[in-house]
Structure 1
Amino acid sequence: MPRRPPADIIRTWSAATAAICLVVLTALAVPGATSAAGGLSAPDPALVRTLLSESALPLVPFAPLTGPATGGRTLGPAQRDELTGRMEELVGEHPADFAVAVQDLRTGATFSHGAHERFPTASVSKLTILALLLLRAEEEGRGLSASERDRAEEMIRYSDNEVTDGLYARIGFTDGFTSGVRALGFTGTDPDPRGVWGSTTTTAADQVRLLRILYVGEGPLSPESRAYARGLMESVAPEQAWGVSASAVPGDTVGLKNGWTPREGNRGLWTVNTVGYVSGPDHEYLIAVLSDGSHDYATGVALVEEVCGTVTEAMEEARGDGGPVPSPRGPAR
């Protein structure tokens, strides 16, 4: 889909290591109206003053998942090493930490970098809150009420923080969130003990698990609930349609949820995250990129978009006839 570059954003391994990563990636298995990209929106105001714990958190393994392989070639060892090297170069080129997990649903190929590392979610947690709201309603034998649907739309399409406060309480606050994410199969996602939903910590691996629940159907949600959630993700406000959409071309279906905020607990540096789905005639991706430590909003967006584009372009090349595939997106910003 056509994209406009961000404007006026001043608003403010060794062979052994590669083998180990390949084993982990094998355990990871990481496919809605099209969102047109536009300018970037202002930061989530309710999250600006969020304080997060900076303590070290343990890593956790991926739960075994499998993905549908429908033909085509996956990343070979040399291509995987090259892409891993590019991710390490990006670490040196950008001041922020980041993690990425991607699955090509056409081939079953996966790629990740730092997928077990925990990052603050900012508004990306709203997608999990929506899934838990839908799950709770199903457990109660009902659909969402008209009020819940209105609030869910505001939360996902417009990233409204006030309505998210109410829906977070509706799912049972931190206790409900904790039990809910375990039911979804998450292994590295935890709420902030003070009840600040934007201070939830998560991993790229868990975010791809959530995308698989919504787009592949692996998990406890009904087809109706999954379709409802996808519809909201695929109709986010145009000014918020950045991030994952950097891996799209005109005519693609894109569903996403982004999160962005400066954090006082990290010297005012920015958390910028993007998770979602991109699908076209010859490609279909689940993508999660989490980042923390960018100097400003624009820098954070540029980083996550470059990571998205770099990984999916490499996967497109791997699916080809062995030669490089010219990127329809042009150079990454």
Structure 2
Amino acid sequence: MYWPAGEAPGSAGLGGPLAVGAPAAVSAPASAARAGGLGIISPALVRRRVEAVGTGGAAAPATDGALATRQAGGLATVEPIAAVRGAASSGLAARFRGYLAGRPGHVSVAMYDAVAGTTAVYTDPAVAGYETASSVKLDILTALVQRAGASGRLTAREQALARRMISVSDNAAASALWADVGGAPAMNAFFARLGMHATTAGPGGKWGLTRTTGADQLAVLRAIAYPGTLSAAGRATVSSLLRTVIPAQRWGLTGGVAAGVAVELKNGWLPRTSGWVITSLAHVHGAGRDYIMAVYTKNGPSMQSGITTVQGLSTLAWKAARSSTSAG
């Protein structure tokens, strides 16, 4: 949980332990329903566009004129789909789009299937950037581990803070590590190194107001899940910490995933005056499947509504993911 200055609720039943990310008040449906008691009204649904790309740069079939969204100078812009990099699963992107047409709020979702080698991305361009809330804690951790170099080892102090930041989503620990890594300037440099051109670090110490897209956050998840950006030791450091996330915060991209499959994830949740922000990042691997996924929602009417949206997208992704044990 992340509370920006001046937006922490007082008597809405959300103060105290929940405000600092304590586990007991987060994931149970009853507490989520209570969290939805702010009386926030979601804005009307707007026209959405699919962001997806065909293999080799060819435009994939898509609706809405096959347009993709980008951010430039803080503004949402539209560009031809062929300009977006990567391979894509346009079928899954269309299913994301169809599902979200019936859901409140705005969503940016991206999924990379390592078995199929495809990427599906869907972003609602009605808003310029999606707040990360506490999911940025995974970005902070990844930046720290990258700075550690080949050893991938954090100092004893950093390790202790990182465990609190990841396992129970402790905000004080995140603020300390945000400062350690160099704050917004250093995080913006980290995002640039990973090619995350639609991501901007939150100003000052407001790390939870970092703005991003699902497609951009795949870069962080790739760095953690697959060789390339981080050393093997560094990737192991991050993965081991993600496995400590407490059961009460293991919602979202666990939705629809078969029992026994590993889901290494970090979630975020934040009530704002315009509605709820619910975010989820995950590496899902097991039962022949291997994929990474990022979902960002905003302006939802309640915490539970946002969680439901993420879980529905997760179910679609799990069903669509290619299995290495399947024929063809």
TM-score (norm 1): 0.72
Is 1:122 paired with 2:103?
A: no
- Counterpart Cα distance in 1 of 2:312 and 2:152: 42
Q: Show CA shifts across 1:285-330 (max 9, x none).
A: 11111111111111110001101111331335999679xxxxxxxx
What displacement does 1:93 show? 1.5
What displacement does 1:280 show? 1.3
User: Match for residue 10 of structure 1?
Assistant: 33
Is 1:23 paired with 2:54?
A: yes
Match of 2:171 among 144, 147, 161: 161
Do the aligned partners of 1:132 and 1:177 also contact (CA within 8 Å) in 2?
yes
- Counterpart Cα distance in 2 of 1:216 and 1:247: 23
State the superposition RMSD in angstroms. Answer: 3.2
User: Match for residue 138 of structure 1?
Assistant: 149
Do the aligned partners of 2:183 and 2:204 also contact (CA within 8 Å) in 1?
no
What displacement does 1:87 show? 2.8
- The alpha-carbon distance between structure 1 residues 318 and 132, as it changes in their structure 2 partners (threshold 3 A), is closer
Do the aligned partners of 2:115 and 2:323 also contact (CA within 8 Å) in 1?
no
- Counterpart Cα distance in 1 of 2:239 and 2:78: 29
Is 1:250 paired with 2:247?
A: no
User: Match for residue 90 of structure 1?
Assistant: 99
- Counterpart Cα distance in 1 of 2:154 and 2:326: 44
- Counterpart Cα distance in 1 of 2:325 and 2:231: 32
- Counterpart Cα distance in 2 of 1:11 and 1:157: 23
- Counterpart Cα distance in 1 of 2:300 and 2:55: 28
Is 1:216 paired with 2:239?
A: no
- Counterpart Cα distance in 2 of 1:318 and 1:25: 23
User: Match for residue 260 of structure 1?
Assistant: 269
Match of 1:277 among 258, 283, 287: 283
Q: Show CA shifts across 1:189-214 (max 9, x none).
A: 11123431000001111211111111
- Counterpart Cα distance in 1 of 2:168 and 2:201: 22
- Counterpart Cα distance in 2 of 1:318 and 1:131: 28
- The alpha-carbon distance between structure 1 residues 278 and 95, as it changes in their structure 2 partners (threshold 3 A), is same
Is 1:297 paired with 2:303?
A: yes
- The alpha-carbon distance between structure 1 residues 208 and 84, as it changes in their structure 2 partners (threshold 3 A), is closer
Structure with greater contact order relative to length (CA < 8 Å, sep ≥ 6): 1
Do the aligned partners of 1:156 and 1:232 also contact (CA within 8 Å) in 2?
yes
What displacement does 1:59 show? 6.4
- Identity in percent: 29
- Counterpart Cα distance in 2 of 1:99 and 1:228: 28
Match of 2:116 among 87, 100, 107: 107
- Counterpart Cα distance in 2 of 1:147 and 1:5: 32
User: Match for residue 176 of structure 1?
Assistant: 186
| Aligned-partner residue type, residue 207 of structure 1 | Q
Structure having the larger proportion of residues in strand: 2
- Counterpart Cα distance in 2 of 1:25 and 1:91: 28
User: Match for residue 195 of structure 1?
Assistant: 205
Q: Show CA shifts across 1:3-45 (max 9, x none).
A: x973442231xxxx98x83338959xxxxxxxxxxxxxxxxxx
- Counterpart Cα distance in 2 of 1:198 and 1:112: 23
Do the aligned partners of 1:192 and 1:200 also contact (CA within 8 Å) in 2?
yes
Q: Show CA shifts across 1:238-289 (max 9, x none).
A: 000011111421111110010111113x2xx100011111111221111111
Structure 2, unpaired ranges of 5+:
1-26, 36-48, 59-73
- Counterpart Cα distance in 1 of 2:322 and 2:30: 29
